[in-house]
Structure 1
């Protein structure tokens, strides 16, 4: 199987997974918001968010693990892969213990003393916090197993497990309606149970299929030090992303009320659902970038990085454009009565994520080189500016949405910095990047937005016309991507793929 075919196949599996999760999430968020109410939903988001702040540890470790697993697979060194897996698991275990200590000390103090929670809901908030810690511990321990699945490019496993996850989340909705106990506590408990079950499935699959996933004590001081150093710098970069979101949530809680946190929660849910499509493509592409670099084929690694930057942007834009223009109608249809600020928050969050999507393959290329110290410290330092600038805006009386505007400007600065640093790490041409990525993305965006905005102004506001406008927006983006976003060879490959698919379909019909 060629690399392009494998990436396409894995992307399809991940897309199937994400569409399923998104459909279930859209339904469950609507029901949960109605059952819990805006205040309890906001409380859940801000309390669980305290634990989520520690998720940068598992996220950074998973990314680091995948880099080393893919590197060993790229070199076809199975014996070294076994050593890598066991050392990685031992590091995960130690950091998992550290997370529990931090969460039960600093985190618990913060929930009790600093968060703005109505007195009658303090008891429920404490239970939600403990459930979130248990869920998080399981997700940390599953990290090396999930990283190994990605390194092996067995993306179909995510699709299968997602069916189980989707069913469990639908069951949660059923139980919330069925029982009359405190629904916020029940919601937290059932989400914890879902996390435990899905994590256990991933773990069991890896132990059965991959020979390197046999846990035994292995220790190589120098190699462990190398992995741990790489992981620590990844942690710093990942922590900045988490702090950007969760500390902003806490800032909004300090200056406003749980209703504003509910609006932020809605924006985060929509943003997460849409951005996952570009994340899925990046996940399918990531092993190829790292394996190409590991096998000394650096030109191919840079080629996949440039192509990845362009296509992750297009995959985000095809959803972002219609959603930003039709956000009021979409949220009203979805939630009936969306919380105040939810529409504007979600629009700005999507723009922020659209800009950041270009960075995903660049981050992977930096990891492939193994030289992440300068990259993470400089880019992370820039992203950390989100907190002081957001705090200054709120302290001077700016509206709640100002924190999203700050995030967008800093995201643009971080993207430019990533490109410059990776240019020096991987020795690629910025001029070529502008030509192959930036120019094509900008041209497609300007043309498709112009046509879509014109239609948005001409057509009346109604459900039928909203659906029609969204369909036309997607078609405009697809058309301009094909005409101006793709290079000649890419258009030719796309046409051949469509012709092949049409012929296969015609043969099936004739039979």
Structure 2
């Protein structure tokens, strides 16, 4: 019990550090997005998003290997085997270097062919698009190689450093924006070059910190066939899921480009900026939770393992909902103030992506629980095949001349089906009490949502301008907070929060 309370306090501390990081990151992200859009223009901004997307299409291996590295590092730490941690790190580093080389070859062959022969890019910007592609390839390879270091920092739960270095990265990105305003060269090429430079610098800092702080992060060139097969088997099936997810995201961008041009890609890029900034709060919370989920399974504490899954699913949704509801309600006003000249479809894309991410927020801890177990083949086949349905369905609706918004509507509907499939699979695989999960998590989420929306929606429609936006935001946060406290939380959880608040008040 004491161990559980200590773990909960550690998760709370880590979450607080990551929130500080995210507040600054979100503020800078919103500012830089507007300036970059103004400086580059709609077409060049769209080119940057879609060309970078080609590289992401080849870097799907990155996410698969990152999840594999994270899982095995956490598992070995949960077992208390430092020699195992060292072996996992070194073998993962060898694998990542190899993967970076493969991505480089694929990008410089298939990627270049697709960019120059298939993409819908204005001829006078094709040279700039090729430069952007090359710098994006460099960035991609560097980020693949740094994954073992980043995973080690998270596995050891050094969230303070993770937060500090992220703030440095945000500051450098802000500096890039100011340099763009002064530079007289091709701004699209210059922006891509500076972004690659930031990625290289941050990766070097990660490496130096890990070598200095963790004895397990000193790279040893050795070969362990059994460990290699275990890592590659896990990562190979994770790869299938990553292929599906990235193919849907970037494949959707490419379909939008082929049917509607770079202006729609710019709108999607803007919507992604908003959703990434808001979802970053939730992902930070999940980063703080995930090591404990995996370590609790490795240590054999099944009760605490299940409790973490329930809490992480519920809290992830609540955190994202309280942040996204004001944006969902006042999206037109927010976009107008932020961008001035709002690209067509940007507002609708933003709302739909946030709805998609609300579903993803609930599902993320379920995926982490599968990672903890390690046997993911059947799960990835099921989820990956369902996810890939997005592409043919999106092609059909665009071919029929329907609105680009239908691409995201389809993603939402498919994501609901995938969530249901996850629950059924976990009920069979790890004896997840599905009925209890639905009662304690899903029902509470629906109740909080339905109670929180009507009043702020009415306020937003009745008053306009800054007064209406601020009043709607205050009403949304107040309604959501009260609904979460009295309906979303169990009595024991409300008691813990009340005690924590009273302790803080007494210290004042």
Q: TM-score range by the shorter chain?
A: over 0.9
Q: What's the TM-score once normalised by structure 1's chain length?
A: 0.97
Q: Deviations over 1:196-226 (max 9, x none)?
A: 1111111111111010111111211012101
Distance in 2, Cα, partners of 1:168 & 1:223 = 38
Distance in 2, Cα, partners of 1:281 & 1:100 = 33
Q: CA deviation at 1:455?
A: 2.1
- Residue 14 of structure 2 corresponds to residue 10 of structure 1: yes
* 1:483 corresponds to which of 478, 483, 486: 486
Q: Deviations over 1:391-433 (max 9, x none)?
A: 0000111111110110000000000111111112211211110
Counterpart of 1:53 in 2: which secondary structure? Answer: helix
Distance in 2, Cα, partners of 1:327 & 1:169 = 25
Structure 2 residue runs without a partner (length 5+): none
Distance in 1, Cα, partners of 2:472 & 2:326 = 8
Q: Name the counterpart of 1:501.
A: 504
Q: Name the counterpart of 1:469.
A: 472
Q: Name the counterpart of 1:60.
A: 64
Q: CA deviation at 1:194?
A: 0.8
Q: Name the counterpart of 2:251.
A: 247
Distance in 2, Cα, partners of 1:119 & 1:153 = 48
* 1:199 corresponds to which of 192, 200, 203: 203
1:20 and 1:162 in contact (8 A); partners too? no
Distance in 2, Cα, partners of 1:242 & 1:470 = 33
Q: Superposed, which structure 2 residues align to 1:142-153 within 5 Å? A: 142-153=146-157
* 1:344 corresponds to which of 342, 348, 356: 348
Q: Name the counterpart of 2:271.
A: 267
Counterpart of 1:263 in 2: which secondary structure? Answer: helix
Q: Superposed, which structure 2 residues align to 1:131-150 within 5 Å? A: 131-150=135-154
Distance in 2, Cα, partners of 1:455 & 1:69 = 49
Distance in 1, Cα, partners of 2:18 & 2:67 = 17
* 1:172 corresponds to which of 156, 170, 176: 176
Aligned length: 504
Q: What's the TM-score once normalised by structure 2's chain length?
A: 0.98
Q: CA deviation at 1:390?
A: 0.3
Distance in 2, Cα, partners of 1:244 & 1:22 = 25
Q: Superposed, which structure 2 residues align to 1:267-346 within 5 Å? A: 267-346=271-350
The root-mean-square deviation of aligned C-alpha atoms, in Å, is 1.0
Q: Name the counterpart of 2:93.
A: 89
Q: Superposed, which structure 2 residues align to 1:401-480 within 5 Å? A: 401-458=405-462, 460-480=463-483
Larger CA deviation: 126-135 vs 87-96? 87-96
Q: CA deviation at 1:68?
A: 0.3
Distance in 1, Cα, partners of 2:336 & 2:24 = 22
Counterpart of 2:157 in 1: which secondary structure? Answer: coil
Distance in 1, Cα, partners of 2:410 & 2:308 = 31
Q: CA deviation at 1:451?
A: 2.2
Distance in 1, Cα, partners of 2:56 & 2:25 = 20
1:15 and 1:277 in contact (8 A); partners too? yes
Q: CA deviation at 1:136?
A: 0.7
Distance in 2, Cα, partners of 1:315 & 1:418 = 22
Q: Name the counterpart of 2:76.
A: 72
1:371 and 1:425 in contact (8 A); partners too? no
Q: CA deviation at 1:71?
A: 0.4
* 1:185 corresponds to which of 185, 189, 205: 189
Structure 1 runs (4+) greater than 4 angstroms displaced = none
Counterpart of 1:2 in 2: which secondary structure? Answer: helix
2:59 and 2:103 in contact (8 A); partners too? no
Distance in 2, Cα, partners of 1:60 & 1:388 = 24
- Residue 224 of structure 2 corresponds to residue 214 of structure 1: no
Structure 1 residue runs without a partner (length 5+): 507-511
- Residue 369 of structure 2 corresponds to residue 365 of structure 1: yes
